[in-house]
Chain A
Amino acid sequence: MRYIHLILRSLFRSRRRTILTVLFLAVSVFLVATLQSILLTLDAFANNPNSSNRIAVRHKVSLTNLLPLRYADWIRQQPEVEEVMALQWFGGIYQDPRNFFPNFAAEPEPIVRIFKEEIVEYSETQWRDFLRDRNGCIVGEALAKKYGWKVGDVIPMQGTIFPINPRLNLRLIYRSRRLTDEQAMYFHFKLVEEGVPFMQGRVGNLWVRAKHPDEVPRLIERIDRHFADAVEPTLSETENAFQLEFLKMMGNLATIIHAITGAVLVAILIVTANTMAMAIRERTTEVAVFRAMGFTGSRMLGILMAEGILLAIMGGMAGLGLAWLAAGGIRAALGSVIPWLTDFTIPVDTLLFCLHASMGLGILSTFIPAYRVVRRPIVEGLRAL
């Protein structure tokens, strides 16, 4: 601690160079932290622990092919099954295409049993109102707040996939544990089935809840085997795997983000190493004077390393600060458009990764120039210009 004053003064010896290096580090760490957080957010979305015993059953050919509704009857009879529900992505627009939120037509009764981890808190009276009203719908509280909806409001939806424009009565507003889970709307599947001729007796997905997560693989295998020879064969997968299918549509995002992160880290290393090499080389004589006064080589190495690490940590902290501020902006600006980003934040894991990476870069970039200057004979150092 008695050298901290010396370390800080030395660090700001060339104020402009230090500030520019810290800014460069900050921008780089900001980029890494934000990209990694987006990746973790998407990963968490596709690895929802709540969905461990939910299975999505769809047509084997593609997501857009439909399954016969009667498949639900056979699935429901399987001993491992707790609940089955027809679920159809409606993809409707509310007022403006920019007002994106997930909206589904679903068999009403099973909704709260299938999604019991998400639909946590609601009024039983409102629930019964919803079941009675064929034009009724339920929405999450965050979504209702966003558009200022309250129970009793009429929400006009415009179909984009299906040629119907249902006017839905808001009957229930539910609460979840996470804001992300309060972004969806569900309404009666009958509206789609009866309003769209090609949907009669057919649905996009069957959502199955197994009694126990351990039974999921066996159930998936049995469902797909049973319908393998049918005209409409099924492809069953865990809900997480199903969500991943959507993410895969965005390309191999993880690879791209990891590649960018790697490139940024290498760039930081090169720039910081260059800065530290210049800063240390300029002080060759000074280091020799310190050693002549009695500072040992290892003590000088420690002081120089501390400078490099401190510089890198300052950049890292500034970058994380920027990322934290940006996370709020991303939530506000994109959370409404991309529901996965409603809860967007910089996770602790990412914070720690960035701090450790900054520290590691500080060590890597400083060690070689510091070691070289400390190993140099004192008399040579005193003669250096």
Chain B
Amino acid sequence: MALDFIIRCEAVAKSYWRGTLEIPVLQGLDLEIPRGGYYALMGPSGSGKTTLLNLIAGIDRPTGGSIEVCGYDLNDLDDDQLAGWRSQHVGFIFQNYNLVPVLNAFENVELPLLLTRLSRRERREKVLEALALVNLTDRLENYPRQLSGGQEQRVAIARAIVTEPDILVADEPTGALDAKNAEEVMALLERLNSEVGKTILLVTHDPKAAHHARIQIHLEKGVLDRTVEVNR
């Protein structure tokens, strides 16, 4: 049976410029990720894993090659179209959670829904559903400063999934957490993949976190080094 690839990268290249000096980060990378996959991008610092994640998530643009995600060639979308595309197809999970400090957990999760046409009642239902999935319905009114790091990251995950995106991208989601909270967050992501069917693309240095993924992609100096299937 042919696989349904949700992400296709062809000869993707990305360079940064420091003055007149070109610094290549990705050099002609090809990658295909099927719908429902759980991939961990790994590699040493400067290998290009976060850059690749940003390009796939549509918050940066390649200097060469093409990226097709959810049936859209991202090169064809202008900035506003790309923003609209992100709001529908991608959920972001950041290392430092990046919750809005002046909004409580409910309001933080509701933020991406403000871009939809949903009514207030419909938004409320979706937020409660998302918070239930991360087991935080008892913390609706709490502000980020009133939550532990693990709880903050779970709120951030609820915010990422509330619009029901096709892909979740997570950049070092356990980087700021202790081992116990990290394990909880990784278990949650694993559940979202296996039970809800979310495609997850994860950048991590942590082998334990990467072990939760089904496939590990190792990058080295901007090129694909090897792909490893995780045996559990």
Interface positions, chain B 99-133, Cβ under 8 Å from A, are 100-103, 107, 111-112, 114-115
The smallest beta-carbon distance between A280 and chain B, in angstroms, is: 14
Contact, CB under 8 Å: B59 / A5:
no
The smallest beta-carbon distance between B109 and chain A, in angstroms, is: 11
Contact, CB under 8 Å: A289 / B87:
no
Contact, CB under 8 Å: B80 / A296:
yes
Contact, CB under 8 Å: B101 / A294:
no
The smallest beta-carbon distance between A381 and chain B, in angstroms, is: 9
Residue of A nearest to B61 (CB): A377
The smallest beta-carbon distance between B115 and chain A, in angstroms, is: 5
Q: B137-177, CB under 8 A of A: which get 1 and which 0?
A: 00000000000000000000001000000000000000000
Cα A6 to Cα B107 in complex, Å, equals 9
B86 in the interface, Cβ–Cβ < 8 Å? yes
A296: which B residues are within 8 A, CB to CB? 79-80, 83-84
Contact, CB under 8 Å: A297 / B79:
yes
Contact, CB under 8 Å: B86 / A13:
no
- Tally A residues with Cβ within 8 Å of B: 24
B194: which A residues are within 8 A, CB to CB? none
Cα A147 to Cα B211 in complex, Å, equals 94
With A285-B98, A286-B100, A378-B59: A291-B83 Cβ-Cβ less than 8 Å: yes
Contact, CB under 8 Å: B83 / A294:
yes
Pick the contact of A13 from B92, B101, B107, B115 — CB < 8 Å? B101
Contact, CB under 8 Å: A286 / B60:
no
B88 in the interface, Cβ–Cβ < 8 Å? yes
A2 in the interface, Cβ–Cβ < 8 Å? yes
A2: which B residues are within 8 A, CB to CB? 114
Cα A297 to Cα B94 in complex, Å, equals 20
The smallest beta-carbon distance between B118 and chain A, in angstroms, is: 10
A292 in the interface, Cβ–Cβ < 8 Å? yes
Pick the contact of A378 from B60, B80, B107 — CB < 8 Å? B60
With A378-B60, A379-B54, A382-B94: A293-B102 Cβ-Cβ less than 8 Å: no
A10 in the interface, Cβ–Cβ < 8 Å? yes
With A286-B100, A378-B60: A294-B94 Cβ-Cβ less than 8 Å: no
Residue of A nearest to B120 (CB): A2
A78 in the interface, Cβ–Cβ < 8 Å? no
With A293-B87, A296-B80, A379-B54: A12-B102 Cβ-Cβ less than 8 Å: yes
Contact, CB under 8 Å: B86 / A293:
yes
Pick the contact of A5 from B60, B84, B88, B107 — CB < 8 Å? B107
B54: which A residues are within 8 A, CB to CB? 378-379
The smallest beta-carbon distance between B34 and chain A, in angstroms, is: 24
Contact, CB under 8 Å: B79 / A289:
no
Cα A285 to Cα B98 in complex, Å, equals 8
The smallest beta-carbon distance between A368 and chain B, in angstroms, is: 20
Contact, CB under 8 Å: B102 / A13:
yes
The smallest beta-carbon distance between B86 and chain A, in angstroms, is: 5
Contact, CB under 8 Å: B94 / A289:
yes
A116 in the interface, Cβ–Cβ < 8 Å? no
The smallest beta-carbon distance between A119 and chain B, in angstroms, is: 63
B69 in the interface, Cβ–Cβ < 8 Å? no
Pick the contact of B86 from A5, A10, A292, A379 — CB < 8 Å? A292
A123 in the interface, Cβ–Cβ < 8 Å? no
Contact, CB under 8 Å: B59 / A10:
no
With A12-B102, A286-B98: A295-B83 Cβ-Cβ less than 8 Å: yes
Contact, CB under 8 Å: B103 / A9:
yes
Interface positions, chain A 273-302, Cβ under 8 Å from B, are 285-286, 289-298
Cα A13 to Cα B92 in complex, Å, equals 24
7 A-B contacts (beta carbon < 8 Å): A6-B114, A9-B100, A289-B100, A293-B111, A295-B83, A296-B79, A382-B98
